[in-house]
A and B are shown apart, each in its own frame.
Chain A
């Protein structure tokens, strides 16, 4: 029963969506299924919060390595949730100036807005910016011209790296118009539009075929691995 009900929900929903794409008469059914999905997706946020709490509380109670980070995660989560739901510091909206809670949760001056502006934005930007340092270190240690494939990869990387900056213009800008295709900035665009597109299209077509096969297996109830192995 535990596996049968989800399997039939998936089969019915899948077929409805599939048919609604081909037969206009079933379009409204597909729309309803889309609405159901939106509701389920919203509920998934609650499930996600529960999962976050479960995993981190387990880490803290077992004093696993890095349990302090788990505690920080939960504290930050709880604070953000509380100030967001409670709309702390939110100024009233222009429409309902008498009602304290009528403003948006992230309005200017609200604590939620403050957390977003002064905690979330700098933290996530910093995380992303750190990539540059690790990529540079990895490039120094891992990019080796060991064989022909590696040499081709390196040459392409050089063209794209230089072609995407003003260095490309400085290095090859002197080339005459009839040889402009060899300018690094143009070569870089050529690589992206021709070689990259050809490779990516092959991958996309391969993935599409794989998705179709897997979807059919799920729709026909042959593949049940998506339900997990636990009983």
Chain B
């Protein structure tokens, strides 16, 4: 036993890194080979995101903000994919914007992956539009409240927003009944709540998908200012399972494309990593108490 404790006390951190690599890579390989994912039970916050989108009538304009960059893509891309998937399937008018400089590229990727691949009947500029990035953070939000075209004068491909059919009837932010925000930090959901949702007097509803770090900070706003919330990859997996089950083809033998299973697939590595963390904390404490006991013995 004492030898085990000695090993624990002097454990090189590279062994921990190796253990983490195995516990993450193992589930990735298993899920990749078998194609099976872990079952998910959606929480009320994830269900609320789904129902807020689902209850909008066909053709309703929806403002979708991609306020993140590729660094958080592992956590946020799967939920962005599912959100666009549901909006496209529902026939909503999607207006994409970004307050992060790398947001427009992520929007383009999602449009390519979901809309162009699976909804070729939807037309750019009519059913969806990528308005692109605007610098200014909260100031852009404030301007959007009174004049959308002033905040975003042209779309990403250079068309004046006044000439875009998808933006017909949109004067200000409150003309969008729903804001879908995918964010990784500042500016993000918190700023949208403070500057747009609170000022709109309840005209705009908002749902968000955010990183694990942000989730605890956004819980105080749910369910009043935030109507639904997807917290980290767990929230994404819950929402993804809801969207997939509602959009499943009538022919149940048809497989769901891998791009619509990304969040659920990532719950496997998350399980491995979390179990390892719990194990490491327990082992660390065993070493700590053994060391403390031996110190007490030595002094007495």
Q: Mark A14-28, 1 if CB is under 8 A from B, else 0.
A: 000000000000010
Chain B residue numbers with a CB within 8 Å of A132 are 20, 24, 273
Asked if B271 lies at the interface with its beta carbon under 8 angstroms from chain A, I say yes
> Judging by beta carbons under 8 Å apart, are B217 and A189 in contact?
no
Say yes or no: is B11 at the interface (Cβ < 8 Å to chain A): yes
CB of B264 to closest CB in A, whole Å: 10
CB distance from A208 to the nearest CB of B (A): 10
* Cβ distance A96 to chain B, nearest Cβ, rounded Å: 9
Enumerate chain A residues within 8 angstroms of B70, measured Cβ to Cβ: 120-121, 124-125
A187 within 8 A of B: no
Contacting pair A167 B71 (CB below 8 A): no
Task: List the count of A-B residue pairs having beta carbons below 8 Å apart.
Answer: 148
A8 at the interface (CB under 8 A from B): no
Which residue from chain A places its CB closest to the CB of B45 in the assembled complex?
A189
B16 within 8 A of A: yes
Asked if B135 and A139 make an inter-chain contact with CB atoms under 8 angstroms apart, the answer reads no
Give the distance in Å from the alpha carbon of A136 to the alpha carbon of B19 in the complex.
9
Q: Is A37 an interface residue (CB 8 A)?
A: yes
Cβ contact within 8 Å between B146 and A27? yes
| Interchain CB contact under 8 A, B17 and A128 | no
Pairwise interchain contact A31-B277, C-beta atoms closer than 8 A: no
**Interface hit among A55-63, A71-79, A156-164, A220-228:** A156-164
Q: Are A41 and B20 in contact (CB under 8 A)?
A: no
A129 to B288 alpha-carbon distance, docked (Å): 28
**Is the CB–CB distance between A41 and B74 below 8 Å?**
no
B16: contacting residue among A137, A145, A189, CB under 8 A: A137
Which residues of the partner chain A approach B38 to less than 8 Å between Cβ atoms? Answer: 166
Is there an interface contact between B277 and A139, defined as CB atoms closer than 8 Å?
yes
Interface stretch of the complex, out of B59-67, B87-95, B136-144? B136-144
- CB of B156 closer than 8 Å to a CB of A: yes
Residues of A within 8 A of B158 (CB): 93, 95
Q: Cβ of B276 and Cβ of A136 under 8 Å apart?
A: yes
A106-B104, A192-B215 known, 20 other contacts, Cβ within 8 Å: A31-B143, A34-B140, A35-B143, A41-B135, A42-B136, A45-B135, A93-B158, A121-B73, A133-B16, A136-B19, A137-B16, A137-B17, A140-B284, A144-B284, A144-B288, A145-B289, A161-B274, A162-B274, A192-B219, A192-B231
Chain A contact residues, CB within 8 Å of chain B: 27, 30-31, 34-35, 37-38, 41-42, 44-45, 93, 95, 104, 106, 113, 116, 120-121, 124-125, 127-129, 132-133, 135-137, 139-141, 143-146, 154, 157-158, 161-162, 164-167, 169, 185, 189, 192-193, 196-197, 200-201, 204
A–B complex contacts, Cβ < 8 Å, 9 sampled: A31-B143, A31-B146, A41-B135, A93-B158, A106-B108, A132-B20, A157-B281, A158-B281, A165-B275
